[in-house]
């Protein structure tokens, strides 16, 4: 009986490898959620300057969304691409702050959006192209 070295049959194991990587990715995402870097997406107050020609400068206080949301990138050796899961702190619901300005040409009403609720949601599609 002759003993020889056989090459490892990678091809039939791509599916299993993909499943293992997917499970690892899912587990790492769950661990990151339970770690000290918890999502901090929340409402914050900020001041916006209304600068319209012919009107006096006016400062208005509005809400915005800011904070940390989970993001992961994992290489997929099967197709050579990256698996991305990105969440961004985004505005879920909004209202408007209405401000009346006494301009040179008369009164002018301005509506500025203000956040009511924020949440970690899928980020907007990227315009970045693969190189």
Extract the runs of DSSP E, i.e. beta strands, from the chain.
42-50, 58-66, 71-76, 81-103, 106-122
The DSSP annotation for 1-33 comes to ----PPPP--GGGHHHHHHHHHHHHHHHHHHHH
| Domain ranges across the chain | 40-120
Tokens of 39: 């999502």
- pLDDT band at residue 80 under the 50/70/90 scheme: confident
Is residue 29 within 8 Å of residue 85, measured between CB atoms?
yes
pLDDT of residue 25: 57
90: confidence class by pLDDT, cuts 50, 70, 90: very high
pLDDT tens digits, 34-73:
544 678 999 999 999 999 999 999 999 999 999 999 888 8
In which band, very low, low, confident or very high, does the pLDDT at 82 lie, cut at 50, 70 and 90?
confident
Under CATH, to which class is 40-120 assigned? Answer: mainly beta
- pLDDT for residue 130 is more than 90: no
Alpha helices in the chain, H assignment, sequence order: 14-34
């Amino acid at each position: 009986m002759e003993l020889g070295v056989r090459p490892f049959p990678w091809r039939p194991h791509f599916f299993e490898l993909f499943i293992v990587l997917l499970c690892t990715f899912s587990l790492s995402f769950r661990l990151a959620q339970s770690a000290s870097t918890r999502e901090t997406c929340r409402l914050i107050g900020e001041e916006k300057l209304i600068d319209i020609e012919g009107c006096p400068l006016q400062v208005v206080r509005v809400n915005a969304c800011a904070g940390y949301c989970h993001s992961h990138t994992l290489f997929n050796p099967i197709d050579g691409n990256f698996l991305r899961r990105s969440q961004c702190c985004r505005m879920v619901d909004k209202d408007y702050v209405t401000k009346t300005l006494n301009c040179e040409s008369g009164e002018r009403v301005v509506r500025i959006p203000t956040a009511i609720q924020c949440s970690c949601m899928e980020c907007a599609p990227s315009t970045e192209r693969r190189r």
